[in-house]
Structure 1
């Protein structure tokens, strides 16, 4: 993907088993109304984003990030690459001006030297390794080489025959650059920066790649892709591409260089030829990606070793050229309003898209559908929740699935009971989250509207004289299965 984008994504640190994985965000600046750097930093703090990637080394942005503790990746823009790759002194001046002048107040942890150089700037590829070495030499001279890593992000398209992953190899025509670069990364303890876009893999596969496989949706074992050589099972495109990179490096005898994903995401809007660029799909992909990283699932080749990843991107960039989807990769609009509310239960408050300290009761992803249905029936029956908004045609009917409807009922009951932790259990199929599950005109109890006032949904009355209904948390009362006139769909998709 072309790189003129903003920079906020996570700071790069070597990804090994004993280090905590992180999720960051890229910050692009092609906005007609780009927020001031202090506003950007305020949003980062409110969202508890601790890792960002900049596509340049904007001085105002670096000053605004000072003393925040946020880990920052700065970049040598592609247009400056030729000059730096041909002059050690030019590289030294760049490091002095854009790194040394700001460190350590601004917590710079890595430098991206260009981006997608091999696929977008082939004429500059011949000086890429020199540029890396010159930048690193300047860090050595400043005694910062141990604190700040140097690498260059590549498009995953440089990997050929990427499935099965065990057969993957790098485009051999790039070996004159790749081999010395991998030597550099290995000798300096750095990592391979890779941009992975399952959206494009899916679109370009002409139907070969299922949408659920691209979106990280749970798949039954018989739907997973199997590497016939290793017998490893792959349930998503992201893991398959990461492992393909590891196998491609191993093919060249490099087995100890970690992978950090510098860009990944999904567009929330597209034109008529981009039907899968939707808010629901973008929410599903990014929510699942965040949970995948923080759950430390790792990949089939490296289980338990999570791949730290930068989400592309912080803001929608309305000035980006190209298709409509190019303008709509952001998590937020320029005014700081979320494009959608991420479902990141289990990832803490990071990117919860909610700064109000509100809590909500949500159905757990992956919970047994029958257990959810029984809990939903109880909440709308003995639990005395007003479930009319879930009826067809009403505000919270869509999306019409059991996890969405159960979340509405659970959260309404939870708020009516004073947000007592015991009121958000439902036999283990619910949990408390800081993520506001409101969507469209379906506002949940306690949700704040964009004008900063509480939403217009009020908790239903629970003033019952029946002791077995008003204080039940489903552990002491059990379930009562009711027949309801609500079109519940019992399916295995556990994301809104």
Structure 2
């Protein structure tokens, strides 16, 4: 292999490895807009995020009260420089440094800020600010470098997919050439800082503007028969949905400018649940279908035809319906919840992993494994009812869950309670391998197990998980003599916590 070919091959491998490394931490998050007539208090917002196990959020600003409420939650936060502040930051390094000091350093690391979005769709909504966009990104990044946070916090800017010309076939896609003077240095910045391209992807609008040339099922990520798939004749890659088509078009457009190792994060996507008379496909069912299929598609790490197996982390637009939004009815109805935290619809997420607990089609529980070693079960039970702070009083003689009086039944009760009080996070139902998640409700007789139940009106039912801070001296931990904890069990706990993966 001659040296030019060898170099090309190595660059190709490097680009794949870079994308793969980024994709290993794939997630689905939500955007949090605030254009509501009655905006919930930040503590209410965070309570909803916790209840729904949403571990990644994007804010459209850097609201101090919201950042304080998010502190010590572990939730990964993307803060934003609003468009109206962009000119000042893009023209002054000191203004950018002051912004970072006030909106990032004042909250980090208690608030887990992982990214900064500089403006939003600047190239299409603020064309006069386009010339200073890259400067703004560089100034914000320089402030992070000065604080030694540039590796922990990435800097990027969301682009509208409308700047991609001829998205089908994806292999022929290219960025609007009139924007090359901004796009090229922007991509250069993202590559040099190991950041990602943020792309707003809205198959709903593509479908609406196509006059039904795009099939509804194609836009909704519904499974298609092979004869309905779209074939890129240049690459012979088959496309089954508009989401992948747009993402791959962006990959090909970057490659055309000689950038092939910049990952993509979809900063906005979704589907409205209600529209006007001229928006017949903005329905509850379609919104549910799109977002449910999207979440499964992303978390199953399906990837795209161009990069199979390399999933694209995605933020759903959006957490709340924003009733103060201007424009058509659909603009007010992209939310997963209303201002009171009630689900607009119940997502169908079976098999997609842990995210958005308003999926109640298959409630999950944590149970002891059949055939598990009794000594390990007992050790794990001792830990759950002791340091794990599970209220095991229901297991005492004469209480509802005492019978059957065996370690398997008692451990299942304790494991399940701990699993739910930890928000069903990944790793919280393991207990050194003696427990597993199940959809079978272990409740029996008068012994009722905590489950992810949603009331008929869509509100979260009251779940009486015990407090992690309980210091009740009459707890079953004391009654059972759970004060001592072996070194082996402590190691198990460390392994549990160390392996926890938050979505």
> What's the TM-score, normalizing by structure 1?
0.70
- Residue in 2 that maps onto 1:450: 457
Cα offset for 1:357?
Answer: 9.9
Q: Does 1:49 align with 2:42?
A: no
**Residues 1:263 and 1:14: Cα distance change in structure 2 (over 3 Å):** farther
Distance 2:361 2:277 in 1: 37
Distance 2:59 2:346 in 1: 24
- Residue in 2 that maps onto 1:317: 322
- Residue in 2 that maps onto 1:297: 302
The unaligned stretches of length 5 or more in structure 2 are 1-17, 366-437, 442-451, 462-503
Q: For residues 392-407 of structure 1, what are the structure 2 equivalents within 5 Å?
A: none
2:117 aligns to what SS in structure 1?
strand
Distance 2:31 2:307 in 1: 25
Distance 2:350 2:77 in 1: 25
Q: For residues 471-482 of structure 1, what are the structure 2 equivalents within 5 Å?
A: none
Cα offset for 1:207?
Answer: 1.5
More displaced stretch, 139-148 vs 17-26? 17-26
- Residue in 2 that maps onto 1:148: 153
1:381-405 Cα offsets, whole Å, 9 max, x none, are xxxxxxxxxxxxxxxxxxxxxxxxx
Distance 2:84 2:440 in 1: 44
Aligned CA-pair RMSD: 2.3
C-alpha contact (below 8 Å) 1:47/1:349 kept by paired residues: no
Distance 1:453 1:52 in 2: 21
Distance 1:69 1:29 in 2: 22
Distance 1:161 1:77 in 2: 30
Cα offset for 1:358?
Answer: 4.3
2:115 aligns to what SS in structure 1?
strand
Q: Which runs of 4+ in 1 moved over 4 A?
A: 354-360, 451-454
C-alpha contact (below 8 Å) 1:15/1:21 kept by paired residues: no
Distance 1:259 1:359 in 2: 32
Q: Does 1:32 align with 2:37?
A: yes
C-alpha contact (below 8 Å) 1:191/1:258 kept by paired residues: yes
Distance 1:341 1:110 in 2: 30
**Residues 1:182 and 1:18: Cα distance change in structure 2 (over 3 Å):** closer
Q: For residues 144-293 of structure 1, what are the structure 2 equivalents within 5 Å?
A: 144-293=149-298
Alignment match of 1:99 (pick from 92, 99, 104)? 104
Distance 1:80 1:433 in 2: 52
Distance 1:290 1:105 in 2: 28
**Residues 1:15 and 1:274: Cα distance change in structure 2 (over 3 Å):** farther
Cα offset for 1:432?
Answer: 3.7
**Residues 1:35 and 1:113: Cα distance change in structure 2 (over 3 Å):** same
Distance 2:19 2:132 in 1: 25
**Residues 1:18 and 1:157: Cα distance change in structure 2 (over 3 Å):** closer
Cα offset for 1:346?
Answer: 1.3
Distance 2:85 2:460 in 1: 47
Distance 2:175 2:440 in 1: 42
1:255-304 Cα offsets, whole Å, 9 max, x none, are 00000000000000000000000000000000000000011100000000
1:182-213 Cα offsets, whole Å, 9 max, x none, are 11000000010000000000000012100000
**Residues 1:315 and 1:245: Cα distance change in structure 2 (over 3 Å):** same
Distance 2:360 2:74 in 1: 19
2:114 aligns to what SS in structure 1?
strand
- Residue in 2 that maps onto 1:10: none
- Residue in 2 that maps onto 1:346: 351
**Residues 1:183 and 1:70: Cα distance change in structure 2 (over 3 Å):** same
Distance 1:49 1:249 in 2: 31
C-alpha contact (below 8 Å) 1:15/1:260 kept by paired residues: no
C-alpha contact (below 8 Å) 1:16/1:258 kept by paired residues: no
**Residues 1:91 and 1:433: Cα distance change in structure 2 (over 3 Å):** farther
Distance 1:29 1:65 in 2: 16
- Residue in 1 that maps onto 2:388: none
C-alpha contact (below 8 Å) 1:15/1:308 kept by paired residues: no
**Residues 1:215 and 1:338: Cα distance change in structure 2 (over 3 Å):** same
Distance 1:98 1:324 in 2: 33
1:16 aligns to what SS in structure 2?
helix
**Residues 1:89 and 1:451: Cα distance change in structure 2 (over 3 Å):** closer
C-alpha contact (below 8 Å) 1:297/1:305 kept by paired residues: yes
C-alpha contact (below 8 Å) 1:46/1:355 kept by paired residues: no
C-alpha contact (below 8 Å) 1:47/1:355 kept by paired residues: no
**Residues 1:18 and 1:130: Cα distance change in structure 2 (over 3 Å):** closer
Alignment match of 2:68 (pick from 58, 63, 67)? 63
Alignment match of 1:111 (pick from 116, 120, 140)? 116
- Residue in 2 that maps onto 1:442: none
> What's the TM-score, normalizing by structure 2?
0.69
C-alpha contact (below 8 Å) 1:14/1:190 kept by paired residues: no
- Residue in 2 that maps onto 1:381: none
